[in-house]
């Protein structure tokens, strides 16, 4: 993929209610995700590539955390509906369905792809998380953590 395919959309700001997803993140993968309703997914620019992204996220008016997210059809699970599944890189004590999730997407990690096993998928997600953490430690990405977008709900 050419970087120009999505760079015109970065940074990308999105906000919406956290809804129940497929129930695989926490239970099957051990990596909980917050999911947006289909209306938010459908609001993505038509030429926004599917794949794995990183950036900053905030639940309600709380603290801003690093995040990694999958946008697409999750070929391993053969989803028929496109989704936006966000993993906030923080341990929360409980689910936050119904909360408002605000995100700033800052970069692209890789295209979505299929995997031969659940273990291979989990390993790829863990690698994506490590890449997101590394990228978000860079000065040109850290500055976005204080973006006024996150303060709009406060």
Q: Kindly list the catalytic residues.
A: 85
Q: φ and ψ at 105, to 5 degrees?
A: -90, 125
For every residue of 75-97, DSSP letters joined together read: GGGT-SS-EEEEEESS--SS--T
| Count of beta carbons in the 10 Å neighbourhood of residue 3 | 9
What is the C-alpha separation between 75 and 67, in angstroms, rounded?
A: 21
Q: Tokens in use for 11? A: 């940074």
Those residues with Cβ within 8 angstroms of residue 75's Cβ, 6 or more apart along the chain or in another chain: 112, 113, 114
């Amino acid at each position: 993929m050419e970087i120009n395919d999505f760079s015109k959309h970065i940074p990308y700001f999105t906000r919406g209610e956290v809804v129940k997803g497929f129930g695989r993140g926490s239970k099957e993968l051990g990596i909980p995700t917050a999911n947006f309703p289909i209306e938010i997914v459908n609001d993505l620019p038509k030429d926004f590539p599917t794949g794995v992204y990183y950036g900053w996220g905030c639940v309600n008016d709380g603290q801003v955390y690093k995040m990694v997210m999958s946008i697409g059809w999750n070929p391993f699970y053969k989803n028929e509906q496109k989704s936006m599944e966000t993993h906030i890189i923080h341990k929360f004590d409980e689910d936050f369905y119904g909360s408002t999730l605000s995100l700033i997407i800052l970069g692209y990690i890789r295209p979505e792809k299929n995997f031969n096993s659940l273990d291979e998928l989990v390993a790829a997600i863990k690698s994506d998380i490590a890449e997101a953490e590394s990228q978000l430690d860079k000065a040109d990405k850290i500055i976005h953590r204080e973006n006024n977008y996150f303060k709009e709900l406060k």
